Amino acid sequence: MANRWKNDLTLDDVTPRQAFLNRRQIMAGMAGVTVGAIAGPAFAQELEPNSYEDITSYNNYYEFGTDKGDPARYASALTTKPWSIKIDGLVDRPGDYSFDQIMEGMTVEQRIYRFRCVEAWSMVVPWDGFELKDLLDRAGVQSDAKYVAFETAYRPDEMRGVAYPVLDWPYREGLRLDEAMHPLTMMATGIYGKTIPNQNGAPIRLVVPWKYGFKSIKSIVRITLTDTQPKTSWNMANAREYGFYSNVNPEVDHPRWTQATERKIGGGLFAKRQPTLMFNGYEKEVADLYRDMDLSKFI
């Protein structure tokens, strides 16, 4: 697998030097960091990654149960090889793309991102992956496409949690096309340089660091380009609490709790809550996407 061998190398080895320098420059301006942490002055909080243990034992993956420990306990039942993603809808080259086809020629890089769940806990995760844009470009997005819809695998034989109607399965998510094409939006295939564990969404999941965690859909089997806003699982379950946009916003509380602060996982029993940042700290990079929108309405 492409990401296997790439993980054994540094970015310098796998990326042409100029491209690497450009990318590093881009990343320096964003909060995501590739090789060598470059702290932006706008970010008061340190990007101190959580431990591998924290990241892989405290999870939300309701297909395997609703307790934080259920995914680590039960997601090993998911068969992740072979894997393919159906890319369809408004694209020039629709089809079933195998995992290996998807990874072929992709530049896998490490990015350290903040991750903020709508439940008001957070982590910092060193993901390995590539930009979603690179995959969408390969499929050839047609000019009338406006949204991207995503679907998780639905496997009652392997997923003990789908026996319960907690959500309308399969788990579905969606982005506006400009959000999907944004350079911060990535498809993750690894954590800490290791193949991504099943509980974190193996073999491939979305990561949108400025949105609440539920937008970052796991174990993706279908990506559809559409001209209408797709239906999404949490929004269907409760539209008042979980908007389509779900940008991290400390000024708009969840109807049942504050979003002004968050608890960073791994800090221990007496850790202080930390302030939640607008767009989860990625305001400089993404605020423009929403410049004409009332973010208290478009939650």
Ligand X SMILES: Nc1nc2c(c(=O)[nH]1)N[C@H]1C(S)=C(S)[C@@H](COP(=O)(O)O)O[C@H]1N2
Interaction between residue 246 and ligand X (CB under 6 A):
no
Interaction between residue 85 and ligand X (CB under 6 A):
no
Burial class (CB within 10 angstroms; exposed 0-12, middle 13-18, buried 19+) of 132: buried
Q: For residues 61 and 170, is the Cβ–Cβ distance under 8 A? A: no
- Strand 147-152 and strand 220-226: the pairing is antiparallel
Residue span binding ligand X (CB under 6 A) among the ranges 24-32, 138-146, 209-217, 235-243: 209-217
Residue with tokens 């499929």: 139
Interaction between residue 216 and ligand X (CB under 6 A):
yes
Of the candidates 11, 33, 117, 187, which one interacts with ligand X according to CB under 6 A? Answer: 117
Residue with tokens 């909080």: 45
Q: What is the DSSP string of 117-141?
A: -TTSEEEEEEEEEEEHHHHHHHH-B
Shortest distance in whole angstroms from residue 60 CB to ligand X: 4
Interaction between residue 150 and ligand X (CB under 6 A):
no
Shortest distance in whole angstroms from residue 46 CB to ligand X: 19
Angle formed at CA 240 by CA 234 and CA 245, multiple of 5 degrees:
60
Position with the least CB separation from ligand X: 213
Nearer to ligand X, 20 or 64 (CB): 64
Number of residues that bind ligand X (CB under 6 A): 16
Of the candidates 126, 213, 230, 243, which one interacts with Mo ion according to CB under 5 A? Answer: 213
Locate 46 and state its tokens: 């340190």
The residues, ordered by sequence, that sit 6+ positions from 67 with a Cβ below 8 Å of its Cβ are none
Say if residue 216 carries a ligand binding annotation. Answer: yes
The residues, ordered by sequence, that sit 6+ positions from 41 with a Cβ below 8 Å of its Cβ are none
Of the candidates 50, 80, 152, 185, which one interacts with ligand X according to CB under 6 A? Answer: 152
Percent helix, strand and coil across the chain, each to the nearest 5: 30, 25, 50
Of the candidates 122, 200, 235, 249, which one interacts with ligand X according to CB under 6 A? Answer: 200
Nearer to ligand X, 63 or 158 (CB): 63
Q: For residues 4 and 27, is the Cβ–Cβ distance under 8 A? A: no
Shortest distance in whole angstroms from residue 193 CB to ligand X: 16
Of the candidates 60, 122, 224, 247, which one interacts with ligand X according to CB under 6 A? Answer: 60
Say if residue 217 carries a ligand binding annotation. Answer: yes
Closest by CA to 65, choosing from 184, 179, 162, is 162
Q: Which of ligand X, Mo ion, none lies near 61, with the C-beta cut-off 5 to 8 A by kind?
A: ligand X
Interaction between residue 214 and Mo ion (CB under 5 A):
yes
Residue 101 DSSP one-character state:
H
Q: Which of Mo ion, ligand X, none lies near 62, with the C-beta cut-off 5 to 8 A by kind?
A: ligand X
Q: For residues 150 and 180, is the Cβ–Cβ distance under 8 A? A: no
Of the candidates 138, 218, 222, 264, which one interacts with ligand X according to CB under 6 A? Answer: 218
Distance, in Å, from the CA atom of 255 to the CA atom of 240, rounded to the nearest integer, reads 8
Interaction between residue 279 and ligand X (CB under 6 A):
no
Q: Interface residues with ligand X (CB under 6 A)?
A: 59-63, 117, 152, 171, 200-201, 213-214, 216-219
Could you list the residues known to form a binding site, using ranges. 59, 62-63, 117, 152, 200, 205, 216-218
